[in-house]
Amino acid sequence: MALVNEHFLKLPDNYLFSEIAKKVNAFKVSHPDANVINLGIGDVTQPLCPAVTDAMHRAVDEMGARETFRGYGPEQGYMFLREAIVKNDFLPRGIRLDPSEIFISDGSKSDTGNIQELVRWDNSIGVTDPIYPVYIDSNVMIGRAGLLNDSRWSNVVYIPCTEENGFVPEIPEKRVDIIYLCYPNNPTGTTLTKSELKKWVSYALKNDTLIFYDAAYEAYIQDPDIPHSIYEIKGARKVAIEFHSYSKTAGFTGIRCGYTVVPKELTAGTTDGLDRISLHRLWYRRQCTKFNGTSYISQRAAEATYTTEGKKQVKDTIRYYMDNAKIMYDALTAMGLKVYGGRNAPYLWVKTPDGETGRRFFEQMLYNARIVCTPGEGFGPSGEGYVRLTAFGQREDCEEAMRRMARMI
């Protein structure tokens, strides 16, 4: 008989955001007249900008004509988009990449989950804590995380990011094979300075450690001293794979497009220690086997974000969300709550009042204020006592949510 992959059975029954959606839907069924404001799930609310929709219309027209129709595209992505990425996202920051080092995807969530296929199941992993759940869950599925005991996986090195250390992760005392970093951070909304990021690159170079660097929210950085890419750090090309997404940058959560950077000089060793293998070559092979490429229409849409009009329109949308974040940050602070993030990221990490657990506060917010947040425990042990709020809502919803919270607190 066919045998199940029993590592899947180690996972909690529900993915964090699916669990929240289930509870919210149940509440709506029992309270059909309630006006629930969802500030929990990081989905966008502003429409696609005109430059993007115009590009998509043109691409659809091309697909409807024999002369310009396209079938299967290159698994790595069309060169027009890869060249635009290099020219606009990296060269202005002094980073030189070859377009062949860019792999277009359907969003960074897929690639951050799939990338761990390139390395052995028994590699050790380290994660900043709290952390985006996909990093952990995808490693559980392959058998790398070990067993879950008291909210911790036995084979995972947790690197706490807490109020006490200013949410700056400390270099682990023991060597770790793979490190996951996400900056600006989801869920805390905090960032690393260039000097702090240098410490991680130096650690990786010294210890032959691989860094998976998720830069999905780099477009929200406001501080000129905060790095947008790990490749701004000398030597990072030898140790890091970087992930980007247009989901929150340009509102592509329903369009699906992103990209992953795998430098050609990045290698990993074999078990006998005699060879170094190019991870670029392995990822290329993996994509050719398991991925048929992102749609032509989505890639033309992503290309449009780099036009003069597209850049301006995308910045306007980002400014809208960051203005939401400021409104929420100021209001929550005025309520006497401790709030982190919201300055260089669209997430606010809020310490719950009176020592409440995040799950308990989530329930109070839902039942008493009709507001959805995300309990911090869902992001890892160090999330206990916090909730995450997103700034992706409509302006009037964000303002109304703050009025409701002020009455509740």
Residues tagged in the binding site annotation: 15, 42, 72, 108-109, 132, 186, 217, 245-247, 256, 292, 388
Compute the CA torsion angle 364, 366, 371, 375 (nearest 10 deg).
70
Distance, CA of 102 to CA of 85 (rounded, Å): 8
In this structure, what DSSP letter does residue 365 have?
Answer: I
Q: How far is CA 242 from CA 30, 173, 181, 274, in A?
A: 44, 24, 10, 27
Q: Which two tokens stand for residue 5?
A: 């992959």
Q: Which among 4, 17, 71 has a CA at the least distance from the CA of 374?
A: 17
Strands 210-214 and 240-245: parallel
Residues tagged in the binding site annotation for pyridoxal 5'-phosphate: 72, 108-109, 132, 186, 217, 245-247, 256, 292
Q: 97 CB contacts (<8 Å, ≥6 apart)?
A: 86, 90, 231, 261, 263
Instruction: Please say whether the beta carbons of 343 and 189 come within 8 A.
Output: yes
Instruction: Please say whether the beta carbons of 205 and 235 come within 8 A.
Output: yes
Distance, CA of 22 to CA of 283 (rounded, Å): 36
Residues tagged in the binding site annotation for substrate: 15, 42, 109, 132, 186, 292, 388
Phi-psi map region of 276: left, alpha, beta (phi>0 left; psi -120 to 50 alpha): beta
